[in-house]
Amino acid sequence: MMRDVSLLLSFVTISGLLTVAEGRTYIEAFQEIQDQVVWPCPQSPRDSIASAFGPREKITSGVISDDFHRGLDIMGSLGDEIVAVYGGRVEKIHTYSGGGLTVILRHWFTEGVKDVYLLPDKEPTDRWYTMNMHLDGIAMHPTENRELEQYDTIEAGQLIGYMGQSGTASNVHLHHELRIATRCSLEWALANPPPASTCNLHNFDPMINPMLCYKHLTDSQYQKADVSQKQELSPQPDGDYVIAMHDNQPNFNSILFEQIDADGNLVQSHLLDLNRRYGYDASSEASHNMYEKTKPYLNSNSFGLSATHWDINFIIPCIWVPSKNVGDMFRITIHSIWETEETKNEFLVGNSADSWGV
Ligand SMILES: [Zn+2]
């Protein structure tokens, strides 16, 4: 009982000292700190991403299946430096069977002020984590004659380790994750319910697109998503619409698919949100890996694509369109990480004379 009272008092004190903060979305919160965040691989340019955050093909013993890659794979050479992307502390250093030698860092938006929302119906948070996997070694402490250890304080840009191929990795790379609110995955939380573990009581998957914390490339480096010249409007043999698009940075937050009639009225819509996993099959709740493929979804990228050749297909399955009148169109609105009025991407696909449907 005493413990509860002291917690309540400390909360009142904090509230009394600070202006009551309005809640922020996770997108707004990361935009506010992007100027201070550094890229984790000083020797690897921003287009060294071999596998982006999002759907991709998983190859196990030669069998290809759908997967959701919940981090970035940044290519480099054995022994390349890995640095902390932001200030904080070493949360954990551990060797995992899959992730290999891993350094987990904890960072705060504003320590003690829980005002950042990932999901509107969940408790807001004040913290985020970066996971750095497949390392070859751990950096030395900057002033003491020892390697970094749990709870050491870390500054942005500080050396934390060296790139490697430990764990399950087919080549030398950094698997880099951004997790919000908790470092524990949903799979872990479901497999280790309280009281065994209380590290993820939010019942959501904390991995979000790591590109969220990095600054927009300069205009000369960044090309706006090129969709209009890539779209393929003819129905595929299986009856689904496939729209190809190309971008040079994997930066989707969400994609809204809408069917609109000739008068501009909305017939139906479907939202895919990669970070919040809207549009995923609830039957695969444990991993949230699979899209609901009876509704519009993104195809899976194969491994080994460079971000300079980052292509993805939007699929509109014919089963989602039980009827399509002459003049109906699809409107696709892409919300990207660095969205502005100029980069906002909304386009129409469909043939006004086409009465395709099932
Ligand atoms: Zn990876």
* pLDDT tens-digit readout, 288-300: 667 788 899 888 6
- DSSP string computed for 251-296: -EEEEEEEEE-TTS-EEEEEEEETTTTBTB-GGGTTTT--B-TTS-
ipTM of the complex: 0.99
pLDDT at 337 (0 to 100): 85
- Give the residue from 68, 120, 131 showing the smallest Cα distance to 287: 68
Look at residue 139 and tell me whether its pLDDT is greater than 60. Answer: yes
Distance CA 179, CA 130 (A): 6
Distance CA 249, CA 220 (A): 13
pLDDT at 252 (0 to 100): 84
Residue 109 C-alpha to ligand 1 middle, in angstroms? 25
Distance CA 335, CA 344 (A): 7
Q: Tell me, which fold does domain 25-41+76-213 have in CATH?
A: Glucose Permease (Domain IIA) (2.70.70)
Q: Where are the domains positioned within the chain?
A: 25-41+76-213, 231-349
pLDDT at 108 (0 to 100): 98
Residue 159 C-alpha to ligand 1 middle, in angstroms? 21
**More confident site: 36 or 236:** 36
- Give the distance, in angstroms, between the CA of residue 150 and the centroid of all CA atoms in the same chain: 25
* pLDDT tens-digit readout, 72-113: 999 999 999 999 999 999 999 999 999 999 999 999 999 999
Residue 72 C-alpha to ligand 1 middle, in angstroms? 6
| End-to-end CA gap in the chain | 63
Residue 51 C-alpha to ligand 1 middle, in angstroms? 7
Distance CA 189, CA 195 (A): 11
Residue 175 C-alpha to ligand 1 middle, in angstroms? 4
Note the residue count of the chain: 358
Residue 304 C-alpha to ligand 1 middle, in angstroms? 11
The domain at 231-349 falls in which architecture? Sandwich (2.60)
Determine the average pLDDT of the residues in 317-346.
79
Residue 132 C-alpha to ligand 1 middle, in angstroms? 10
Residue 198 C-alpha to ligand 1 middle, in angstroms? 26
Range with the largest mean pLDDT of 95-109, 197-211, 226-240: 95-109
Residue 217 C-alpha to ligand 1 middle, in angstroms? 22
Q: Are 85 and 156 in contact (CB under 8 A)?
A: yes
Residue 356 C-alpha to ligand 1 middle, in angstroms? 39
* pLDDT tens-digit readout, 10-20: 333 344 444 44
* pLDDT tens-digit readout, 159-180: 999 999 999 988 999 999 999 9
**More confident site: 221 or 79:** 79
Residue 173 C-alpha to ligand 1 middle, in angstroms? 8
Chain position carrying tokens 């949230």? 288
Token pair of 278 as six digits: 């809207």
Residue 170 C-alpha to ligand 1 middle, in angstroms? 10
- Give the residue from 294, 151, 312 showing the smallest Cα distance to 244: 312
- Give the residue from 307, 305, 210, 303 showing the smallest Cα distance to 249: 307
